[in-house]
Amino acid sequence: MSTILMPPQASTRPQIQTASRGAIRIEDVVKIYDPDGASVMAVDHCSLDIPAGEICMIVGPSGCGKTTLLNAIAGFHSISSGKIFLDGEMLCGPKKPQAEPGSDRIVVFQNGALFPWKSNLENVAFGPLMQRKMPKKEIYEKARSMMADAGLSGTEHNFPGEVSSGLRRRVEIVRALMNDPKVLLFDEPYRALDSLTKSVMHEALLEIYYKNKVTIFFITHDLEEAIFLGHRLVIMTSRPCRPKKILNVDIPHPRDYGVLTSLRFRQLMEETIEVVHEEAKKSFAAGEKEG
């Protein structure tokens, strides 16, 4: 009898870049706004482990508490209870409700934060210049090198207002990486971009990521964006926020836009849409009651 060889099964584990730092642990975190008044619970006993070097995409209904969680990691907001760790060290928890902001956790904001009066090169070099951790010449050499790696050669002496929105986003990411962070925190950074520019920025972000292997915590409402970029996709409940479902995006890295036509991508989209739609209906119903 002949032996039939079956093809190996695809791994269900996400493909994660090798990284030795940047592991986030969120342990039973609660955030209540105005605890002595309206007592609005934004985050409800949320627990999540993000391995070092993972691109973790966070989706959920508007106003569910995603940004509140990001701000707690960054040190912009306190938490009411629970703990948040970075590489095993507690950022916030009992007796320390608010983490200290630091260069190990850099936020890339939705509306951008470049200095319009500084050139792109000066923007990228700004953080290390303020920290004075290396000579000025070395800082600018590093800035030029990182800008070149990110496809920004030739824009060094332009001001942010003189380049496209997509290039400005790229400058912001390089500026963040100049501080050698463990974690990049993205709050819908591409929301205002058109679909064509967004697709270019997705591939550019992955190219930058493959070279830097930094942990990424990325909030988005764009499900295609979430699946294309992420190793894992965390779908949050309507407010108060906590993980409802976590999907491993078992599409191998490196990726390009060809994966959007793959069967597995479509399957993940269908599974994600079903869960997100369920929570969106709950959020809409709650909004109607509140209104």
Residue 19: other Cβ atoms inside 10 A: 16
Same domain, yes or no, for 175 and 190? no
Same domain, yes or no, for 196 and 273? yes
Q: Is residue 97 part of a domain?
A: yes
The whole model's pTM is what? 0.86
Same domain, yes or no, for 194 and 281? yes
Same domain, yes or no, for 273 and 189? yes
Residues 6+ apart with CB under 8 A from 33: 39, 40, 41, 42
Q: Is residue 19 part of a domain?
A: no
In total, how many domains does the chain have? 2
Same domain, yes or no, for 155 and 57? no
If one compares 79 and 288, the residue with the highest pLDDT of the two is: 79
Q: Is residue 5 part of a domain?
A: no
Q: Which CATH number fits the domain that encloses residue 71?
A: 3.40.50.300
Same domain, yes or no, for 263 and 134? no
Same domain, yes or no, for 92 and 208? yes
Identify the domain containing residue 263 by its residue range: 24-104+183-285
Q: Is residue 44 part of a domain?
A: yes
Task: Mean pLDDT check: name the lowest of 47-56, 88-97, 169-178.
Answer: 169-178
Copy the structure tokens of residue 138. Answer: 């070395």
Name the domain boundary from 131, 155, 180: 180
Same domain, yes or no, for 278 and 220? yes
Same domain, yes or no, for 164 and 204? no
Q: Is residue 120 part of a domain?
A: yes
- pLDDT tens column, 66-116: 999 999 999 999 999 999 999 999 999 999 999 999 989 999 877 677 899
Binned at pLDDT 50, 70 and 90, residue 165 comes out as: confident
Q: Is residue 143 part of a domain?
A: yes
Q: Is residue 6 part of a domain?
A: no
Name the domain boundary from 155, 180, 205: 180
Same domain, yes or no, for 85 and 219? yes
Between the alpha carbon of residue 155 and those of residues 124, 151, 192, 205, the distances in Å are 12, 9, 22, 18
Quick one: pLDDT at residue 3? 35
Quick one: pLDDT at residue 169? 85
Q: Is residue 252 part of a domain?
A: yes
- pLDDT tens column, 190-232: 887 788 888 888 888 898 888 888 999 999 999 999 999 999 9
Name the domain boundary from 162, 180, 198: 180
Which candidate, 33, 58, 40, 63, places its Cα nearest to that of 48? 58
- pLDDT tens column, 19-41: 789 999 999 999 998 867 778 89
Average pLDDT value for the chain: 87
Same domain, yes or no, for 166 and 59? no
Same domain, yes or no, for 231 and 253? yes
- pLDDT tens column, 240-265: 999 999 999 999 989 988 899 999 99
